[in-house]
């Protein structure tokens, strides 16, 4: 992914500024800092990029989801509609918030569908955790209509879709709160890090306190700060924030390169009979971190994967068998294998997780193969990859005809 492709002197400069102050903690120590506040600068850079009024940096994308849920008021016993196709942290965050996940169908955007959400709504539904998958975005007009009709709270996990947008609004800013991941594999990385975003001042203040043991961060004496809410430690360090700051500045350039490569690949691979692509509700808003390709059915997709592996084509994910992105492999969640009891065990799961009917999701993910786009690919490298992919796909489709 792009965050690991572009790094160097600028990151070193920002890190060295932190090292020179000796202050790695993001709060207080004003006199020793010499005006160096990397977490604040990182937050401002993210807010400016996506158009958010408020951004709050934390230790990971996972903790950003936790902050987003807490700041939106999601907690014990609340039923939250979640996707069965997501990095598992999204579902974990709901469970560890004390809430109860309710799985709903996705569509060919790879995100929750309005139809799937509607079927999953019950009188107990409090919120939707909408995950924008693989660099793209959900069908926001239809989903926002449902949110308003049923008076639901919308929280967005745009961990894989930072820099994506729909009709000019960034992913993460349609709901009460949203969040991005800055781990090692995202469009921009802090090494480890995440950012919660919102246009709601009260939600921002809650996240700011919740992520730091409830501190209100008023005054310059940490030991004498008040604690308006109970919180925990989800803080980001100044060192991680320094890297995230530089990486965020590069995102517009990376997005442009990604889209050029992705559009070329789609144009060429789309000539192959039987190949199609995931729906992108707003082509102008694609962050283009993934090429998301559909084969006619699960059997042909599995044969293509086999051909790729046999012919040295790498850099792709077949999510249908992926251990941590798809519900089929989440046996610990299905069977309630936990280190300590959660509300799912205490209150009872709202669904029989071992016997859910999600036919659209199974069919969609079964025929999906995603390639990570590398912004540093040369034109020759892209064309060589297209030729190899084409040969493998054509061979696989002949075998499964």
**Residue 70 sits in which domain range?**
2-250
Which of 208, 224, 250 is the last residue in one of the domains?
250
What's the total number of domains in the chain?
Answer: 2
User: 177 and 293: one domain?
Assistant: no
pLDDT at 4: 78
In CATH, what number is assigned to the domain containing residue 265? 3.90.1150.10
The residue among 250, 274, 296 that closes a domain is 250
For residue 111, the model assigns a pLDDT of 98
Task: Indicate whether 32 and 156 sit together in one domain.
Answer: yes
Tell me if 209 is assigned to some domain. yes
Chosen domain end from 250, 283, 312 = 250
Confidence of residue 129 (pLDDT cuts 50, 70, 90): very high
The 10s digit of each residue's pLDDT in 2-13 is 667 899 999 999
- Using CA atoms, how far apart are residues 121 and 335, in angstroms rounded to an integer? 23
* Percentage with pLDDT > 90 across the chain: 98
pTM: 0.97
Rounded to the nearest 5 degrees, what angle is found at the Cα of 120, between the Cα atoms of 117 and 121?
90
Mean pLDDT across the stretch 271-287?
Answer: 98
- What CATH number should be reported for the domain holding residue 176? 3.40.640.10
pLDDT at position 2 is 64
Please tell me the distance from the alpha carbon of residue 227 to that of residue 219, in angstroms, as a whole number.
13
Residue 152, pLDDT score: 98
Task: Give residue-wise pLDDT tens across range 236-254.
Answer: 999 999 999 999 999 999 9
What is the tens place of the pLDDT at every residue in 153-172?
Answer: 999 999 999 999 999 999 99
pLDDT tens digit string along 312-360? 999 999 999 999 999 999 999 999 999 999 999 999 999 999 999 999 9
Asked if residue 334 is part of any domain, the answer here is: no
Handedness of CA 279, 135, 107, 269 (dihedral sign): positive
Q: Read out DSSP for 146-166? A: HHHHTT-EEEEE-TT-TT-EE
What confidence category does residue 1 fall into, taking pLDDT thresholds of 50, 70 and 90?
low
Average pLDDT over residues 364-378: 97
């Amino acid at each position: 992914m792009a965050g690991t492709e572009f790094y160097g002197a600028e990151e070193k400069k920002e890190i060295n500024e932190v090292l020179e102050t000796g202050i790695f903690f993001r709060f207080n120590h004003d006199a020793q800092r010499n005006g160096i506040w990397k977490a604040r600068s990182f937050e401002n850079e993210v807010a400016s990029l996506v158009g958010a009024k408020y951004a709050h940096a934390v230790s990971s994308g996972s903790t950003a989801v936790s902050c987003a849920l807490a700041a939106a008021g999601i907690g014990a016993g609340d039923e939250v509609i979640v996707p069965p196709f997501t990095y598992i942290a999204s579902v974990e965050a709901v469970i560890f918030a004390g809430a109860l996940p309710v799985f709903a169908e996705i569509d060919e955007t790879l995100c929750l569908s309005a139809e799937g959400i509607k079927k999953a709504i019950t009188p107990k539904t409090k919120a939707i955790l909408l995950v924008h998958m693989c660099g793209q975005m959900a069908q926001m007009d239809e989903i926002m209509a449902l949110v308003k009709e049923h008076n639901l709270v919308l929280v967005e996990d745009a961990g894989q879709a930072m820099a994506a947008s729909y009709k000019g609004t960034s992913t993460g800013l349609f709901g009460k709160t949203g969040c991005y991941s800055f781990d090692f594999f995202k469009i921009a990385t802090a090494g480890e890090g995440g950012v919660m975003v919102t246009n709601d001042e009260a939600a921002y203040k809650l996240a700011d306190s919740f992520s730091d043991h409830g501190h209100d961060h008023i005054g310059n004496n940490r030991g004498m700060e008040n604690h308006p809410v109970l919180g925990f430690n989800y803080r980001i360090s100044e060192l991680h924030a320094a890297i995230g700051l530089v990486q965020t500045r590069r995102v517009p350039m990376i997005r442009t390169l990604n889209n050029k490569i992705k559009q070329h690949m789609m144009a060429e691979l789309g000539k192959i009979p039987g190949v199609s692509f995931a729906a992108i509700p707003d082509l102008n808003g694609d962050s283009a971190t993934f090429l998301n390709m559909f084969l006619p059915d699960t059997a042909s997709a599995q044969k293509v994967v086999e051909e790729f592996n046999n012919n040295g084509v790498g850099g792709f994910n077949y999510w249908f068998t992926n251990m941590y992105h798809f519900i089929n492999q989440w046996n610990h969640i299905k069977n309630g294998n936990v280190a300590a009891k959660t509300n799912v065990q205490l209150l009872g799961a709202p669904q029989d997780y071992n016997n859910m009917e999600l036919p659209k999701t199974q069919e969609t993910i079964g025929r999906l193969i995603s390639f990570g786009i590398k912004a540093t690919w040369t034109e020759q490298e892209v064309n060589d990859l297209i030729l190899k992919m084409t040969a493998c796909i054509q061979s696989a489709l002949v075998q499964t005809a």
